[in-house]
A and B are shown apart, each in its own frame.
Chain A
């Protein structure tokens, strides 16, 4: 199997630390006037997105270009996918064009893992179903570490539709490897008990106040209405019991930060005031997304 990046679960601490350190090196480039390196000169990255995405796709594209590589983006609509071609056939066709890596997002959990067994090209998982979103967890860790010396012992509350969240799973794996205390919080129908077995240091609660109390980091998840296969909770009640509001922040540590993978739904998972709150680092996450993806692309291809 070619070395790509399929998930955080299979990475060890040293590999994660190396990516995060390299991402730090790339941070200053984001604000330089000349933003282009030549690490990936002559290399071709294909972004294959079977699910709509603006920020992740753009972020990977910019990351590739800042490293001097070329990037082509394909979305499922308007491609051979809509003509009924199977995933394996599409990927074999693309692989025959000899890209140096395929960045892939797919609605089916495990789709990149399945392809990695059958393709010669390294695959970078940009989100697979409700399984993993490894670069999101890496950029979240980079964002926390820009403000804290270490992840160890931090209390991180992850709140929302945990059951259907790939962001939550990747973050749990990453934070668990570094000794953070992880509290997963959501309505019980979106919080299967088996989540506690995902990684060391995980606990579950259905009470948002308990989750936030003394938290160093509050990660709000998007309410994935498109991934709700049935009514697991009454949508009208969600914000009232699981939406993050300004007064909640009094329960957290005074220097707690608020994160969100975006795109945010103001008034659904967090109030507008929280979104604009000074300790909300949502835009820093976006910025770090490029630095982290540069580090990942360099590791996979460079």
Chain B
């Protein structure tokens, strides 16, 4: 059945549209964007006072399937994505088995096709088992549906292997996504190295562990001409280096996670593992640099690094708890608060960071409301007050530091390929 979204503020950065209009959807495609569209037998969604944007793309989530279904499944993670306003997510390969072969890639694609209310695009591993040694079957994974490669969760430590991976990926025009962390510098660390880690007697993860890896990789990106992307960038220096490389004409990009531009290590509750992730919450200065980098265009995309862990794993001594927090359902609320309501960026720029930004890296053929495009639409409010209750999350996990936080603005409805994937009740 056709859908007409009436009277919303339509923001489509790809076509430089920002006006009040209707959006007509039929047969899974965008038909038209214009005022007062006729829709004889369609469903009408009144978007008065709401923003109508291309479907949001989260290029960094962990769906945990196959292998860790107690933490998340493709279905539960995709439902959380829909409730967060996302119509497409990229699934990182650190599953069990690791997504380092066309078999696993195909499994994810097939499970998602049957069960996921949003588009799921697998990210293949760079190296076999993400062990950092031998290149994975990158071409075969691309043929099976992988849209990028990454050993996320782990960096490729060996510079020679990284160089070969960049060269090889270039032949397929696949972006290579790096979790930037020099494991020797970060070894044993549980939180950002700084006054808080010293006070709490916790081992630190220095900002330098990220900076060193970003610097090395940018040199390699220059050498190889690869399309290189820094995942969850978190430090002042790393943002500056990526921005410099970008201005030099290298094909390099980076993404920022909402928790990193919202919180610092000073916001952590002592020994509370809901604040434990990698990269860790950084210093006040790093957070400020990240916000400035987003405003200045150094950062291309917002990505959540949604990382579910079941309660039992987070109910341990801090140093034993795994890294990561869930983030799909809070991403838009945090981004509005930290970037738009705070006056750092415009609403149009925010929509870019969730749509054309990741699209420019991944080339999914999405992220626009142009006529003929797949009908992926995110409808959200910039004003609605709501409170996040993690116990109501669609995710199977509950590890969020934002439980109980009240937001101004958030997702209202998500349409994927012309069908409602989620609507706020």
Residues of A within 8 A of B (CB): 9, 86-88, 106, 108-111, 113-114, 118, 128-132, 163, 166, 169, 192, 194-195, 197-198, 229-230
Contact = CB atoms under 8 A, between A and B. Distances in A.
Nearest to B320: A108
Given A194-B194, A194-B195, A109 B187 contact: no
Given A194-B194, A194-B195, A229-B187, A109 B202 contact: yes
Contacts of A128: 201
A86 B314 CA distance: 11
B315 to A, nearest CB: 5
Given A110-B271, A113-B270, A114-B271, A88 B315 contact: yes
Contacts of A229: 187-188, 203
A129 to B, nearest CB: 5
Given A110-B200, A110-B318, A229-B203, 5 more contacts: A109-B202, A109-B271, A129-B201, A163-B198, A230-B187
Interface of B: 187-188, 194-195, 197-203, 270-271, 312, 315-320
A132 B201 contact: yes
Contacts of B318: 108-111, 114
A2 B270 CA distance: 17
Contacts, number: 66
A5 B288 CA distance: 37
A86 B316 contact: yes
A87 B201 contact: no
A163 B198 CA distance: 7
22 contacts: A9-B199, A88-B316, A108-B318, A108-B319, A108-B320, A109-B200, A109-B201, A109-B271, A109-B318, A110-B270, A110-B318, A111-B271, A113-B270, A114-B316, A129-B201, A131-B200, A163-B198, A169-B199, A192-B198, A194-B195, A194-B197, A197-B198
B271 A166 contact: no
Nearest to B318: A110
Given A197-B195, A229-B188, A130 B201 contact: yes
A118 B316 CA distance: 11
A87 B194 CA distance: 28
Nearest to A109: B201
A194 B319 CA distance: 21
A246 to B, nearest CB: 32
A261 to B, nearest CB: 16
A121 to B, nearest CB: 17
A86 B316 CA distance: 7
A86 B315 contact: yes
Contacts of A108: 317-320
Residue from B197, B317, B319 with most neighbouring chain A CB atoms (10 Å)? B317
A212 to B, nearest CB: 24
A118 B312 CA distance: 13
Contacts of A130: 201-202
A91 to B, nearest CB: 11
Contacts of B198: 163, 192, 194-195, 197-198
Contacts of A118: 315
Contacts of B201: 109-110, 128-132, 166, 169
Nearest to B196: A194
Contact of A87 (B195, B270, B271, B317): B317
Nearest to B317: A108
Nearest to A128: B201
Contacts of A129: 201-202, 319
A242 B182 CA distance: 31
A228 to B, nearest CB: 11
Contacts of B270: 110, 113
Given A130-B201, A194-B195, A229-B203, A113 B271 contact: yes
Nearest to A165: B201
A110 B194 contact: no
A106 B271 contact: no
Given A109-B271, A114-B271, A198-B198, A87 B203 contact: no
Given A108-B320, A110-B270, A113-B271, A198 B203 contact: no
B294 to A, nearest CB: 28
A170 to B, nearest CB: 10
Contacts of A132: 201
Nearest to A6: B270
Given A129-B201, A132-B201, A198-B199, A111 B317 contact: yes
Given A109-B271, A194-B194, A87 B200 contact: no
The 8 A-B pairs of least Cβ separation, nearest first, read A110-B271, A131-B201, A108-B317, A130-B201, A109-B201, A194-B195, A194-B198, A111-B317
